[in-house]
Amino acid sequence: MAEPLLVVEDLEVHYPIGKSLFKEGVTLRALDGVSFTVGKGEVVGLVGESGSGKTTLGRAVLRLVEPTSGRVQLGDKDVTALPPADLKALRSKMQIIFQDPYASLNPRMSVGQTLGEALMLHKIGTRKDRDQRIGDLLEQVGLPRSAAARFPHEFSGGQRQRIGIARALAVNPEFIVADEPVSALDVSIQAQIINLLQDLRRELGLSLLFIGHDLSVIEFLCDRVIVLYLGRVMEMGTAAELYANPRHPYTRALLDAAPVPDPTVRRDRITLKGDLPSPVNPPSGCVFRTRCPYAIDACAEVVPPLETLESGHRVACIRSHELNLANPIA
Ligand SMILES: Nc1ncnc2c1ncn2[C@@H]1O[C@H](COP(=O)(O)OP(=O)(O)OP(=O)(O)O)[C@@H](O)[C@H]1O
Ligand code: SF4
Ligand SMILES: [Mg+2]
């Protein structure tokens, strides 16, 4: 595995909610003790149902959301220990690509101004250098240099996402979080943006945390995958290993929910019933137990540790040794 660039240890984000003058508040455990690494030049995928904590994780890593506890290290910098005044310097090392390219660009700024602002903020280059760099960035993301003079409304959704990617790349970041960067786009455009990210990743050796819903996109783009459920890691491993040999019932269920070219190939499927439980009051023991077809009494008592298997991938299920999820019989 590549040398780790990003190290995340036991990260927690608990949101206090509902507190008022007359009412005690409660705690929403959006992220509950998540640990992982992203290697130099590695693309790690993050999957899980809506509300599982993906965006919270991506933002907490960048300190766009303040972690409740835990540690994030980028290279030799302890991100979590940085005083707020030093966060600006951090932004030149870590960037984010947002889901919605419409909302994330200032409509009153030309594309050149948007990219120039990012460069100026981080004191990159002289004015002339910056104009050159803006043109280079636009070409890098497949847009003409002349796009600098135009405004966001003059571009299609896919083109706007290219601008969003150029803005993230402007400061030469070491690490980028891409939070569902294609979900808001037409299906026909999604592949173009995914291919662009794949090309950039090869050219620039980008390290990326790629948040997504579409498992086929994740498989195409990512070296490793993290499966998140109710703010906890259920399973992580190489994309190849996880897809061919899932060891957590939740991973199996996500794979079964994805469309397959020939649905007759596997008839035994795990169907996810009901909704994600509330992160205000998560189930005891294994948080997946209320929806797991393999749950036994013991699952309510112990929080399954994230164990490393012979195959090298990691799984948090006390029954993973006895279940054959490659061909489920439930
Ligand atoms: N600022 C906030 N205050 C309180 N609760 C929040 C806040 N932001 C997120 N949450 C809650 O934290 C949990 C995780 O939300 P998050 O947005 O991280 O999930 P997600 O996996 O990104 O979902 P989606 O796939 O819909 O984008 C949810 O229960 C959500 O309601
Ligand atoms: S620990 Fe129990 S409830 Fe959780 S995934 Fe494994 S079998 Fe299912
Ligand atoms: Mg999200």
- Provide DSSP, 247-277: -SHHHHHHHHHS--S-TTS----PPPPSPPP
Predicted pLDDT of residue 328: 54
Q: How far is the CA of 33 from the centre of ligand 2 (A)?
A: 18
Q: Residue 274 — very low, low, confident or very high, per pLDDT cuts 50/70/90?
A: confident
Predicted pLDDT of residue 1: 63
Ligand 2 touching residue 289 (CB < 6 A): yes
Fold of 4-93+173-315: Rossmann fold (3.40.50)
> What's the average model confidence in pLDDT over 162-184?
94
Predicted pLDDT of residue 181: 93
CA atoms within 13 A on the CB side of 200: 27
Q: Residue 264 — very low, low, confident or very high, per pLDDT cuts 50/70/90?
A: low
Most confidently modeled of 118-132, 255-269, 284-298? 284-298
34 vs 76, 103, 232, 240, 303, CA distance in Å?
Answer: 20, 29, 6, 22, 13
Most confidently modeled of 17-31, 80-94, 229-243? 229-243
Q: How far is the CA of 139 from the centre of ligand 1 (A)?
A: 35
Q: Residue 262 — very low, low, confident or very high, per pLDDT cuts 50/70/90?
A: low
Tell the residue nearest (CA) to atom 12 of ligand 1.
30
Whether the pLDDT of residue 266 is over 60: the answer is no
Contact 249, 325 (CB under 8 A): yes
Whether the pLDDT of residue 233 is over 70: the answer is yes
How far apart CA 116 and CA 136 sit, in angstroms, is 12
Instruction: Report which of residues 280 and 121 the model is more confident about.
Output: 280
Give all strands (DSSP E) within 60-119, no chain letters. 69-74, 77-78, 94-97
> What's the average model confidence in pLDDT over 301-306?
95
> What's the average model confidence in pLDDT over 305-310?
92
> What's the average model confidence in pLDDT over 27-34?
96
> What's the average model confidence in pLDDT over 302-307?
95
Q: How far is the CA of 53 from the centre of ligand 1 (A)?
A: 6
